[in-house]
Structure 1
């Protein structure tokens, strides 16, 4: 059906502006749409596979026939009648054109047809390989080469879905049983304790490998292994009671330093400063070696120096010190290093593309005697540069380990041909990589799809509709993953899932969108317009008024002495600056006026008339390339469009914040739940159905990578392409990539990573 009865008139869907589809969808859920023929309730369908249409949601019966088009009133006529003349409908000359037509989803065309080629095992056989095969553990020829090549350095390029874990565990078992190597002379390094545990558990199922032998293998993360070495040789210095385990402990030290530099904790991004300090340490850059690239880095470098001095005076250490401390121990005591070189014969390093400088140097030091280093990784999945990871260590492995054998695992056992070919086409755009192509083992002839929602709100609605359709057909919630570039990208999807009955969980402990610093600060003005004595709201607006938190106590006293509200007390603050005091006197009527405005108009007033725009420019999310304060406010505008007044928006914000906390608790109890995750957190996992949000320039690739490319640095852009590659290769059956027409209220352009992919018209 293309017609419906709405607001006392008949509307025709082709005559409705595309930007109003989401409102029609929501009003349909409220029972405000009905069939113009039978009068039954109808809703607007917004999904991926079918065009938008009205349908009878309470009945499975066939839809009524549409009324003739001339009987349906157009919602937005192009002309009006006046004085007997037809005049064009007025349109603001500054309004951005949003009259966009609906664009149907497109399947991607796969360039090469699938041809099944038998994957052959190596002709080389030995006793333990035969035992593995008898136990049902088989390998293709490249996998078997990786398992049995045990002498000298070995680089295993393990593509997505190539059976990497099977190869690693089989190689470990092979060295133990075929070569009769003592278990405690092997070091198996993984990037998570969970991965190490899973490998040991799987290892015990291999022929002849018993639990006590598997437990003697030195395995774990870099931090856990090298911390044990430190603890063994100097327990007093490295005892756990001296470890700064919690983020707040580390933050406290840098905040103490920040006070001496007059850095207000409500204005300076201390969490980002600690992240930068960690990056410098993992890159083995000590405080004296820092070369700041901005004023923010200059401040952070001073905090870094104070942070290290305070730790030294107090005898404290953090997690990054474990690796740096072990490196220093080996440099200062070469005889001790030699004893460990003699003890360990074989090294197996997982996720080698994510290794950082200090980790790399430690492995080079320990393996110098035998050179038996097996590095397993995929340069196409290196996505952790912000933590100091550097894929160049994998790319230059053969230079640093002369004579290294390179084995490529290029058979994908996870995804069908259609998804694997799409992933190959995407990653081929990168130049800094080992040249390789993954091959699929099967085809199911279902093509990956691009779909084109109007904006973030409609994107979330279309995905929810598709989820519900597939679950009705027998799929389980846990079969689905919805992946996004940065945490703010999940806002609309979270809200849509929260209002549905589907179980879902967040794969990261991120704050609610409405609790983000810039969003919370702007909404605080709305809260004060509703309640002038909201003390938390007063605290939240002080930074944007360029007032220190110490002013809060003065405001409390002023409120009592003058018997006025906390908002009114702001007009009595004495700062010593006439301009600022004059601005504070005008604050009260301006804040009160917000209650009468729509949320969008109120946001604009706070930004322009109350100076919030200037505050964003000065502070923003300083030091954070990924998430800017101005972007958060653009996201807020998109969210605010559907509310009539600021009270409704505040109620919604509070509800979503409470839901965010609840989902964190409930998500831990739900095994069968839809997954909402950043692409980074999805790495190493797999799902039947994968939806990738926001595949447009500015989102994926991110703005910061585009800025870097414009300045001649293409490395961030290549990492962004690897991110999309990782997202695509999580899909085991079907892949859906969203290409919104508008993002953050502005016209968007499809991701440049997709432009080379041929579509089926």
Structure 2
């Protein structure tokens, strides 16, 4: 059904402006759409698998059809966003001199046509030469030929290139059990390294179910993450120095030290990105760059390098250490005490390293040190899934494994046992464009004749609506919430879909470290002006606007005193601040009137007023993106404008932001105990996991690939762009049955171009 009565007018869906679909959808939930046939309320359907349409929500309305073939006038809803209200005047928005951009039309979702016909992957059966592998086969644990080779070839260096869904965990655990049972290896001579404690416990859980395995022998294997293994070595040899009581376990403990150093350097706590500075310090440490070796590339890095130096000095003075020090300390221990290194080299015969593509320099050097005698290093990884460069990971260690370990054998696990042919072929097409990789192609074991789908929402708001509609429909058809994962490039991209899920009755979970969109630094600063327009004595808001006014936090107490002495609001007290700069003081005198005017504007107009009239744009340019190459302050404000379009006044928008901040905390708390829940996750966090149905958000240039990678590529560095393509590959290969990739027409209020990573797929539409 495409005809309805809306605001006392007949409308035809084909004539509704594309950008108004979401508004019409929202209004239909408020009862604003009426069936012209029976007078009952209608809802608008906005999903992935069908064109938009109207339907009876409360009754079937079986006798109601489109009752007229006449073409109604084009739908032109009143749109307050066409005007900007300033100082009591309602002025039209400025328009370009050139002709208006053509209206975006609805584009139906498109299944990818997989041109290569399915033929079962050539997974040659194993030869079952091993007695122990026969025992495993008897209990249903089977291996293809390449998997068996990876299990039984235990002498010398071995690189196992394990593609997505190729059963690498099964191979790694079977190899461990094979060495213990058939080769009678001493469990204390094996080092099994994983990248997460969860992966280590999963391998132990599998091992205990294998024939001949028992808890005592498994417990004797030296297994765990790099940090846990090498910390135990440090603790054994220097218990007092490396006591856990001296460990900086929490981020706030480290931030406390760098902030103290920052104050000595004159860095304002509200303005300088200390969290990013700590991330950069961690990167330097993991790549074994000492403070005196840092070569800053920017003024921000220069400040951070000074913090790095003071941070390390403070830790050393007080006897503290952080997690990165565990690896650096162990490397230093072995370098300073070669005899001790020889003892460990004699103890360990075999090294099994999982997720080798994510190894960093200090981890790699430690493994090279310890394995120098035997060279029995089994490295398991996939260069196509190397996505942690920001933490110091470097896929070149995997790509150049044979140089450091001459004579290394390479085994390719290229059979995908997770996903159907249609998804595997899609992933192959995407990743094949990368140049720095081992050439390989994954093969599926089955086909479902269900193609991956590209769908085309208007913007982030509609993207979230379409996904939620699709999930609700599938759950009504019998699916369970845990079948679904919604994956995105950065946390800010999840804002709209989080809000849709929070307003629904569907259970969902997300990462515990995911902050609310409305608590981001630039967003919080912008909303602070809105809060002050509603309450001129809002103390947190006063604190949060000071950075954008280029005022130190120390001035807050002066404002409190001035407010009492002059019997005025905190906002009015800003007019009495003396900074010594005439221009700044003049601006502060006008501040109260402008802030008060915000309460009369629409949220979108208010944002633009703060940007221009209160200099927030200048603040963003000077401070907003300092040190952060991934999330720019200007991008956050553009995201805020998209959210603001849904609200008519400041009060409702601020109330919504507060509600979402509260919901973020509530969902994180409830998510700890949820088993059957939709997963909301960054692509990075989803690595190693799998879901029946996966939705990938924002496959457009600037999002995936990220703007930073595109800028790097234009400047001659292709590596970040290749990593972005690997990110999309990881997202796609999480899907076990169905895959949906979103290609919005607009992102952050601007026209978006489909991701260049989809170019190869577009040929198959």
Q: Same fold (TM over 0.5)?
A: yes
Alignment partner of 1:218 out of 216, 222, 230: 222
TM-aligned CA distance change 1:488 to 1:98, over 3 Å: farther
Alignment partner of 2:441 out of 413, 437, 443: 437
Alignment partner of 2:557 out of 530, 553, 560: 553
Counterparts of 1:224-239 in structure 2 under 5 Å?
Answer: 224-239=228-243
TM-aligned CA distance change 1:96 to 1:715, over 3 Å: farther
- Does residue 1:259 correspond to 2:263, yes or no? yes
Whole-Å separation in 2 of the counterparts to 1:336 and 1:543? 53
Alignment partner of 1:539 out of 520, 543, 558: 543
SS of residue matched to 1:443: coil
- Does residue 1:490 correspond to 2:494, yes or no? yes
Whole-Å separation in 1 of the counterparts to 2:180 and 2:112? 47
Counterparts of 1:179-194 in structure 2 under 5 Å?
Answer: 179-194=183-198
- Does residue 1:292 correspond to 2:296, yes or no? yes
Deviation at 1:245, TM superposition (A): 1.1
Whole-Å separation in 2 of the counterparts to 1:596 and 1:61? 42
TM-aligned CA distance change 1:353 to 1:533, over 3 Å: same
Whole-Å separation in 2 of the counterparts to 1:442 and 1:173? 29
- Does residue 1:517 correspond to 2:550, yes or no? no
Question: Which residue matches 1:33?
Answer: 33
517-526 or 58-67, which deviates more? 58-67
Structure 2 spans left out of the alignment, 5+ residues: 78-92
Question: Which residue matches 1:628?
Answer: 632
Whole-Å separation in 2 of the counterparts to 1:710 and 1:697? 13
Deviations 1:391-424 (A, max 9, x none): 0000000110000000000000000000000000
Whole-Å separation in 2 of the counterparts to 1:152 and 1:117? 29
Question: Which residue matches 2:10?
Answer: 10
Contact 2:465-2:500 at 8 Å conserved across structures? yes
Deviation at 1:96, TM superposition (A): 6.0
Whole-Å separation in 1 of the counterparts to 2:323 and 2:179? 32
Contact 1:109-1:758 at 8 Å conserved across structures? no
Whole-Å separation in 1 of the counterparts to 2:432 and 2:204? 35
Deviations 1:432-471 (A, max 9, x none): 0000000000000000000000000000000000000100
Alignment partner of 2:118 out of 110, 114, 117: 114
Whole-Å separation in 1 of the counterparts to 2:572 and 2:477? 59
Alignment partner of 1:404 out of 402, 408, 411: 408
Whole-Å separation in 2 of the counterparts to 1:744 and 1:96? 19
Deviation at 1:124, TM superposition (A): 5.4
TM-aligned CA distance change 1:461 to 1:96, over 3 Å: farther
Contact 1:504-1:673 at 8 Å conserved across structures? yes
- Does residue 1:603 correspond to 2:629, yes or no? no
Contact 1:56-1:63 at 8 Å conserved across structures? no
TM-aligned CA distance change 1:685 to 1:96, over 3 Å: farther
Question: Which residue matches 1:83?
Answer: none
Whole-Å separation in 2 of the counterparts to 1:137 and 1:647? 61
Question: Which residue matches 1:674?
Answer: 678
Question: Which residue matches 1:505?
Answer: 509
Contact 1:55-1:63 at 8 Å conserved across structures? no
SS of residue matched to 2:240: helix
SS of residue matched to 1:38: coil
9-18 or 720-729, which deviates more? 9-18
Deviation at 1:71, TM superposition (A): 6.3
Alignment partner of 1:103 out of 100, 107, 131: 107
Question: Which residue matches 1:50?
Answer: 50
Contact 1:110-1:758 at 8 Å conserved across structures? no
Deviation at 1:123, TM superposition (A): 2.6
Whole-Å separation in 2 of the counterparts to 1:466 and 1:376? 37
Deviations 1:117-142 (A, max 9, x none): 56322335021111111222110000
- Does residue 1:455 correspond to 2:459, yes or no? yes
Whole-Å separation in 1 of the counterparts to 2:240 and 2:121? 60
- Does residue 1:466 correspond to 2:459, yes or no? no
Deviation at 1:68, TM superposition (A): 2.0
Deviations 1:604-628 (A, max 9, x none): 0100010000000011131111111
Deviation at 1:70, TM superposition (A): 2.6
Whole-Å separation in 2 of the counterparts to 1:179 and 1:615? 66
Counterparts of 1:604-753 in structure 2 under 5 Å?
Answer: 604-753=608-757
- Does residue 1:75 correspond to 2:75, yes or no? yes
Deviations 1:694-724 (A, max 9, x none): 0000000000000000000000000000000
Contact 2:121-2:444 at 8 Å conserved across structures? no
Contact 2:516-2:661 at 8 Å conserved across structures? yes
TM normalised by structure 1 equals: 0.97
Whole-Å separation in 2 of the counterparts to 1:283 and 1:676? 31
Deviation at 1:92, TM superposition (A): 4.1
What is the RMSD of the two structures over their aligned residues, measured on CA atoms?
A: 1.4
Whole-Å separation in 2 of the counterparts to 1:328 and 1:552? 46
Whole-Å separation in 2 of the counterparts to 1:126 and 1:635? 59
Contact 2:458-2:746 at 8 Å conserved across structures? yes
441-450 or 506-515, which deviates more? 506-515
SS of residue matched to 1:236: coil
Question: Which residue matches 1:304?
Answer: 308
Whole-Å separation in 2 of the counterparts to 1:705 and 1:63? 55
Contact 1:342-1:369 at 8 Å conserved across structures? yes
Alignment partner of 2:360 out of 356, 359, 380: 356
Whole-Å separation in 2 of the counterparts to 1:755 and 1:119? 30
SS of residue matched to 1:724: helix
Whole-Å separation in 1 of the counterparts to 2:472 and 2:621? 42
